[in-house]
A and B are shown apart, each in its own frame.
Chain A
Amino acid sequence: MRWQADIAGGFRYGDGPNRQLLASSDLGLTYIVADRWLATGAFTSLTTSYYHEGTRFSPAWVVRASGQLSYFFEDRWSAFVGVDQQQARPQFFFNDTPESPAGFQRQTQVQVGLTYRPAGRFEARGLGVAERVAPGGI
């Protein structure tokens, strides 16, 4: 009931004379800590290679890993933490010729979000309705 795992992989060949090779893989993991409390993680990779005028060029690739934790305590708290890391070796085209420089690019992103509702009240006496934010906290 709590864990979910997903794995997918793919391989393609084609694009005529470019003889493109494309390989991808995806891995996902979800953990339901409790109702409205979720942790997720994902890993993806994509590799592409081209053939041009008798030469197969070294592949371009991108790898990405991310993780998130989100928490929602109704009427009170909500929190979110996420990390995303991506590393890539891009490929450029000059006059339709693929070139893969030896360099690379790496990106890291961190996100944090937090909301809190200290007070909330609604009353309609004629209707017999008196609502307040649900009690509790983390």
Chain B
Amino acid sequence: MRRLAQSLVATLCLAASPAFADDPYAEYRIPEHRWVSWSAGLTANGHRTLHNSSYGSESVARQGNGTAASSLYGGFDSDRRSRAYGLSLLANGAIQTFDGQNALSYETYLTHSRNESALERASAFYALSRFPWEAPLGFSLSTNAFIAPRQQWASYEEVRQAVPSPFYPAYRQEYLSNRTSGTYDANASLLATVDWGRVRDATPVYRVQVLEQRLHETGTIHGELSAAARERLAALYTVEADLSFAHQRPTKYFWRELERLLTDDGVLGPGGLDAYTVQRLLEPVALETQSFARIRGFSVGPQVVLGKAWMHLSDKSEYRRLTFLADTLYDSTVLVTPRRKLDDHDESISTGLFVEYHRPLGMQWQADAFSRALVSDGAESLTWSTALGAAWAIADRWQWTGNIRHDASAPGKSSERKVDRWQLNVATSLDYFFEDAWAFQVGYQHLQDHSPTDFTRTDTYSLGVSYQFAGWLDAPGLFAPMRLSSASR
């Protein structure tokens, strides 16, 4: 038994260690980077509508709305440790009023209504991870919190004045109503895991491989990139999206840095990166897929998920109707709904195990597997999810993907537990884009949903083909006539 445990630990260490030294995906490490961004915004709008009718009615509707918001994001990321935080605040106020009058031959109406509302929203998150030792043992924690209170005040007032006639006396009716309400929704969640093994998103390595291929294809670089340049370019692709924390239009800064790295490596010609090359580099790798995720690593460990949600409602309303005959109160109706309060909360705790494995197999293949089983508080139910996926980048702009996912839930305790619901989702697709000629997409999806009372099976097929027979542009004096690229490309 002891020997079995030792071999199991050794196997897990081997799977989690950065083996296969010639595998660039295995050598990828997350570069150190940090960021902070704080922004604030204010918007306001006002609306006024005046309506005048020859039938004797006139009304004015006014509406005002204002929103103030601010958000703060920051964090640090590296291969050994990371942390990220965010705080977002929003306050919104709105007011609507309506004044109208309608003069008919037998009655006049005077209407006034007013609605006011206020909405506040605050959300925050904090996440951290640590891999403090050489051994692939890590800890991660993430938490989210959200609260959104809302208040509303509404009032309505209408006066009807009857014109005296031989059939009924002059009377006046007054309708008054108002309602106030306050609500809030709040929730908080926490996810904690202990990882044995390490999973990294090595997509930047793949992007550097595609970059190098395309730079060679356009003749922009001479010779191969050095290993150090590839590593720095992968690091730059890793932080590409994070440049937006420092700049609102970050693309130009990214391309400045990328050109600098290529120049430092000595492979870039004196012409630098021309516009044609940059546009070629920006083209997606497949018809639909903007990027091809290249995740690598193995991880297994326990997981705890905590969640809590609160809801509060408080409101009261009042309605009055008064009828006057010759300025004397003739009839009155009063309906008062006293303040009522409703509070509710829900909490959940789940614990379980997860295991995942991701492996890029060369530049063209990617395999992914994931499984997780969670037991709810008091072991009252079990949920289990498993997913398998594979992708094949057949060539530039030609990709196949296949995915299988199974979810099951089993309520009950220990021996009484039995699967009562499960879902199966199988999907596959093939995308092919031959520039200036063919675009082809075929897909299939199979869904099964089993519950104690129902069973549903859905099959979906999709097929799309387009072909461009001719394409031609002639601009004399500007450039030579252009035609569709030849099939040899």
Partners in one complex: yes
A→B interface (CB under 8 Å): 74-75, 101-127, 129, 131-134
Give 28 pairs: A residue, B residue, CB < 8 Å, sorted on A. Answer: A101-B53, A101-B55, A103-B54, A103-B57, A104-B52, A106-B49, A108-B48, A109-B45, A109-B47, A109-B48, A111-B44, A111-B45, A113-B44, A116-B41, A117-B37, A121-B245, A122-B243, A122-B245, A122-B246, A123-B35, A124-B31, A124-B33, A124-B239, A126-B235, A127-B31, A127-B239, A127-B257, A131-B243
Known contacts A103-B51, A123-B33, A124-B239; A134 and B247 CB within 8 A of each other: yes
Are A101 and B40 within 8 A (Cβ)? Answer: no
Are B44 and A117 within 8 A (Cβ)? Answer: no
B36 at the interface (CB under 8 A from A): yes
Query: Who on chain B is nearest to A113 by CB?
Result: B43
Are B257 and A129 within 8 A (Cβ)? Answer: yes
Question: What 0/1 readout, one digit per residue, does chain B (46-68) give for beta carbons within 8 Å of chain A?
Answer: 11111111110100000000000
Known contacts A111-B43, A124-B31, A127-B235; A117 and B51 CB within 8 A of each other: no
Are A117 and B47 within 8 A (Cβ)? Answer: no
Are A114 and B42 within 8 A (Cβ)? Answer: yes
**B375-398 CB contacts (< 8 Å) to partner A:** none
Known contacts A110-B45, A111-B43, A127-B235; A132 and B246 CB within 8 A of each other: yes
Residues of B within 8 A of A120 (CB): 36-39, 245-247
DSSP majority for the A interface? strand
Query: Who on chain B is nearest to A87 by CB?
Result: B50
Bound together, the chains give a CA A134 to CA B40 distance in angstroms of: 17
Bound together, the chains give a CA A123 to CA B40 distance in angstroms of: 22
Known contacts A112-B44, A124-B33; A133 and B246 CB within 8 A of each other: yes
11 A-B pairs besides A101-B54, A112-B45, A117-B39 with CB distance below 8 A are: A110-B47, A111-B45, A115-B40, A117-B248, A122-B243, A123-B35, A124-B31, A124-B236, A127-B232, A129-B33, A133-B247
Bound together, the chains give a CA A121 to CA B73 distance in angstroms of: 10
B34 at the interface (CB under 8 A from A): yes
Known contacts A74-B249, A109-B47, A131-B253; A122 and B35 CB within 8 A of each other: yes
Are A109 and B54 within 8 A (Cβ)? Answer: no
Bound together, the chains give a CA A109 to CA B62 distance in angstroms of: 10
Residues of B within 8 A of A122 (CB): 33-35, 239, 242-243, 245-246
Bound together, the chains give a CA A14 to CA B139 distance in angstroms of: 75
Known contacts A103-B52, A104-B52; A112 and B43 CB within 8 A of each other: yes
Most buried by A among B53, B239, B247, B253: B247
Residues of B within 8 A of A116 (CB): 39-41
Q: Indicate which residue in A104, A115, A131 contacts B247 across the interface (CB closer than 8 Å).
A: A131
Query: Who on chain A is nearest to B67 by CB?
Result: A113
Residues of A within 8 A of B51 (CB): 103-106
Query: Who on chain B is nearest to A114 by CB?
Result: B42
Are A119 and B36 within 8 A (Cβ)? Answer: yes
Residues of B within 8 A of A132 (CB): 246
A35–chain B nearest beta-carbon distance, Å? 12
B34–chain A nearest beta-carbon distance, Å? 5
Are A113 and B47 within 8 A (Cβ)? Answer: no
B32 at the interface (CB under 8 A from A): yes
Bound together, the chains give a CA A111 to CA B47 distance in angstroms of: 9
Query: Who on chain A is nearest to B73 by CB?
Result: A120
Residues of A within 8 A of B48 (CB): 107-109
Are B46 and A109 within 8 A (Cβ)? Answer: yes
